Amino acid sequence: MTAPPATGSQPLVESISLIDDTPLALEVAEDTRRRIALAGRRFPRPKETRVLTVSNQKGGVGKTTTTVNLAAALAQAGLRVLVLDNDPQGNASTALGIDHHAEVPSIYDVLVEGLPLKDVVQKCPDVENLWCAPATIDLAGAEIELVSLVARESRLQRAVATYLEEQEAGPGRLDYILIDCPPSLGLLTVNAFVAAQEVLIPIQCEYYALEGLSQLLKNVDLIKGHLNPRLHVSTILLTMYDGRTRLSSQVADEVRAHFTTEVLKTTVPRSVRISEAPSHGQTVMTYDPASSGALSYLEAARELAEQVLDDNEREQRQAHANRT
């Protein structure tokens, strides 16, 4: 069967879907529609730098993957973004192509030695407007070393505040700082909570991912009550979503029922491309920008960025996107 000629973006999507109505063809058509809608789109800048901690005490839910891909997506849309790799595994540094062997100045030196944050920040080689403060293996011992230090819970917060003051005096301020945390609630994570204003929680669409969430929320409330009054859970992202299973849908529905305003509409699917990208020292945004995983993170980044808009501005941007 021959598809009709396409003259614009909408006819192009329609022509693809007319070729075949199999699930694969429909998926290709949907990805094409999303790619056209997001191509070249610029995201709104927040009035001040948004500092978000990406945290979940359960491992394997996509914290690091979410951190680096949201950061890359925001940067590709014209925003200035810094990733703080606060996890001793250093996986965020690897995914961003940042050197983080033992001799490299890192977040460890900021937390324990008091080194200024500007002295450890490196530019991401693959994405414009994206920087990273790496983690080295030294960070594994920081939990113990921080115990005896003065103001041990707020050392990262002071470093970030000083860095932002220096940025304000420079050519351009940062729009976002994303902090990647280890899968625990130790002093490294506490430092991240104290340094941030917002918490972004990735939740895997499986039953076990819901366990421990209440404890994480209690810890956020404790930090808010004693150390950081501005801290709040602003965003929840559903990851590893498999639309073929009833379990994923049930978990997603349950999370949305409990967190009606915080959960992003976008879900991130299970994706081989997302898993492959770090082995090439890249995010999926540069490794395979046309993949469904990259498009999902780009849509999630758009939702995150548009949280700063009021309802009228959001409606105007949506109307403009529909026209184009």
pLDDT in tens, 154-183: 999 999 999 999 887 666 889 999 999 998
CA atoms within 13 A on the CB side of 44: 16
95 pLDDT band, cuts 50/70/90, is very high
Neighbours of 293 (CB within 10 A): 24
Instruction: Look at 85-89, 129-133, 147-151 and tell me which has the smallest mean pLDDT.
Output: 147-151
Residue 60 in this model has a pLDDT that exceeds 90: no
* Total length of the chain: 324
pLDDT score for 244: 81
Tokens for 6, please give them.
């396409």
Identify which of 136, 145, 82 has the alpha carbon closest to the alpha carbon of residue 104.
Answer: 136
DSSP assignment, residue 179?
Answer: E
Average pLDDT over residues 21-28: 60
> pLDDT averaged over the chain?
86
pLDDT over 90 (residue 224): yes
Q: Inform me whether the pLDDT recorded for 11 exceeds 60.
A: no
Q: Which of 153, 157, 230, 184 is nearest to 55 (CA)?
A: 184
Q: Identify which has the larger pLDDT, 28 or 256.
A: 256
Residue 41: pLDDT over 80: no
Confidence label for 243 from pLDDT (cuts 50, 70 and 90): confident
- Looking at residue 2, its pLDDT comes to 45
Q: How confident is the model at residue 84 (pLDDT cuts 50, 70, 90)?
A: very high
Strand partners, 85: 180
pLDDT tens digits for 268-320?
998 999 999 999 999 999 999 989 999 999 999 999 999 998 755 655 666 65
Per mean pLDDT, which range of 62-71, 139-148, 153-162 is the poorest? 139-148
Q: Is the pLDDT of residue 6 over 50?
A: no
Residue of 223 and 211 predicted with greater confidence:
223
Query: Average pLDDT for residues 105-123, to the nearest whole number?
Result: 96
**pLDDT score recorded for residue 50:** 97
Look at phi and psi of residue 182 and say left if phi exceeds 0, alpha if psi is from -120 to 50, else beta: beta
Confidence grade of residue 37 (pLDDT, cut at 50, 70, 90): low
Q: Which two tokens stand for residue 178?
A: 């994303």
Provide the pLDDT for residue 197: 96
Reduce the DSSP state of residue 92 to 3 states and report it: helix
Q: What is the pLDDT of residue 247?
A: 87
Confidence of residue 102 (pLDDT cuts 50, 70, 90): confident
Q: Read off the pTM.
A: 0.86
